Structure formats: C-alpha cells, structure tokens
Amino acid sequence: MQSLQEKASEWSGVHTNDAFAIDETNLYEKLGLQTFINLSTNFYNRVYDDEEEWFRSIFANSKKEDAIQNQYEFFVQRMGGPPLYSQRRGHPALIARHRPFPVTRQAAERWLHHMQQALDSTSDIDSDSKIKMMNFFRHTAFFLVAGDELKNQRQAIACKHATEKPSAV
C-alpha cells in the first residue's frame, strides 16, 4: 500500500525532497512576519470572494480572520519562525484538522490556484521563495487529499461492520 507521502508525491508531481526544500533556507527570517500575514490575508480575501460557490462554501463556517491567523501562524512555525501555532493550538495535526472539510483533488487545485495568485500579488516575495513555497503547498495539498481518502475508506469499513451487526445477532 502506498504511504501518505508517496501518494502526495505522485498526485502532486512534487517529490518529498522538493516539498521540504523549504527547510534549506529559513524563509521566516528571509521574508519576515508581516509578509506571511500579508500572504494569508491576500489568500483568504480571494477564497472568501471566490466566484466558485462550491469552493467558497467549504470555508463558510469559519471566520475569515481566524482562517488567516491559523494559516500564517502555521506557515511561520513551519518555515523557521517561532512556534506561534503550537503555542496557541497545539500540534498542527494537519490531516485531523482538515477532517471536517471535503479535501478533494478539485479542492486542492482550487486552493493552489488562489495561493499562486496570492504569492504573485504579495510584495517582497522573491522568486526562489515562491518556488519553494509552491512546491511545499502543492505537496501538502495532495498529502491532505491522501488523508481525506484514508478517512473515507476507514469510515466505509467501520460502517460496513456496523451495518453487518444485525445479521450477526
């Protein structure tokens, strides 16, 4: 059976080494906190205004300012900055925290579309950092798609057992 990162690499087209090339440079020190805040604000402004209702609705139960803070705190922590996310919310636990959402391949591509636009229209992000971040985001998005499929498989198995119970009595 393929592991989560094998699926993520195959589906995203990004090798794990390229995804985690974000660790070769300290992007937090290079870009600074304000750039991360600007990027996440730019990103979620696009998401919450998306003309695609199916995608916009995924975020309907979250406040935009919370979504922005959760995202930039995670990015800062993961890209060499202070552990802002964990100090406030504990472990990232990326797959578990995305469980309430339908993280399909289509949703991953839409997320990445907005992120590419946000990266391109946020000032002070050099092209090397952009490439590193997009590889990381692309791999991570499909890592979450793999996590989502795992959830669906496991639920189906659990329910199969549950529905079979009556006939076993």
148-158 core/surface letters (b: 16 or more CB in 10 A; e: else): bbeeeeeeeee
Indicate which single residue of 19, 37, 47, 125 sits in contact with a copy of itself (rule: CB under 8 A).
19
Subset of residues 36 to 55 that bind a copy of itself, contact rule: CB under 8 A: none
Min dist. Cβ of residue 42 to a copy of itself (A): 24
* 111 Cβ contact partners less than 8 Å away, ≥ 6 residues apart: 47, 55, 137, 141
Indicate which single residue of 54, 66, 96, 120 sits in contact with a copy of itself (rule: CB under 8 A).
96
Is residue 1 near a copy of itself by the rule CB under 8 A?
no
Is residue 167 near a copy of itself by the rule CB under 8 A?
no
Q: How far apart are CA 137 and CA 132, in angstroms?
A: 9
Beta carbons of 78 and 21 less than 8 angstroms apart: no
Is residue 147 near a copy of itself by the rule CB under 8 A?
yes
> How is residue 59 written in tokens?
């975020």
Site residues, a copy of itself (CB under 8 A): 3-5, 8, 16-17, 19-20, 23, 82-83, 86-97, 99, 139-140, 143, 147, 150, 154-155, 158-159, 162-163
